[in-house]
Amino acid sequence: MSFLSLFMQATEQVTPFGLLTKLSGKLASAPLGGMTQLLIRSFIKSYHINLEECANQDLSSYKTFNDFFVRKLKPDARPIAENCAAILPCDGTIGQVGDILHGRLIQAKGIDYSLRALLGGDQRDCDHFESGGFCTIYLSPSNYHRVHMPLEGTLLKTIHIPGRHFPVGPRNISNLPSLYTDNERLVCLFGTEIGQFAVVFVAAALVGGIHTSWSGTIENRNKLKIDYYDPDQFHYQRGDEIGYFNYGSTVICLWGENAAELEEELGAGLGVQMGQEMLL
């Protein structure tokens, strides 16, 4: 391991990202009047946000910074690909794509991590994805932060895994080997026509919370929590919204062996949008 990697790990361990995340979450969700408007306008300018695609372009109607950060888009802003097995669930940048081999996923060049650790430790959940594939998508602050259903499916189970809130930018991905399995995450398992499909929300530094369409914002917990769902109650169509992040983070999609072929143009570093083809 390089000196830089060791130094970053030591630095990240002593930085109070959990406290910073809580404080930033409270600030971002507070109605601050003129200060809120100043923050939103500064954010738009700094990150070159395209207001033309926003469903609500009246900035004065956003009472908190988070209201704007999780803004909805116009219905036609993200066309949904139909002639494919699954679409990309969110805007962002591809971190890695590839095969799940011997229970390991690639995080960065020379770094991989455990499927079992990612999903919370139950080998029965892992068995659905062994020898399958994965796609990791990093959401920067400039991206649209709502997450949508990649294909038609029924929610079967969620696993909330408490953890740290390390930043998930490219520098940390390359230097913190257990980044995705150390950070807080919510594993969502769906039954679909191509077998079980997982959408994993990975929290990060300054993320005010992971929010789902079926249970709202996930509460802070100290222990792993598993919830099972009635398959007749939570059925989603391709492109339906299933949640959002209150700040930048990562979504990891998992599918089983021989379920479908990955879109060949997808690769590390590629900027993508929700609705584009992911699996053929």
Kindly list the catalytic residues.
Answer: 91, 148, 249
State the sign of the Cα–Cα–Cα–Cα dihedral 209, 214, 139, 252.
positive
**186 token code pair:** 């919510």
**Which ranges of the chain would DSSP assign to H, the alpha helix?**
3-14, 17-28, 34-47, 65-69, 115-119, 123-127, 170-175, 179-182
Tokens of 57: 């372009």
Distance, in Å, from the CA atom of 46 to the CA atom of 225, rounded to the nearest integer, reads 38
* Distance from the Cα of residue 161 to its chain's centroid: 14
Reading the block at residue 147, the tokens are 């997450």
In whole angstroms, give the CA distance from residue 106 to residue 186. Answer: 19
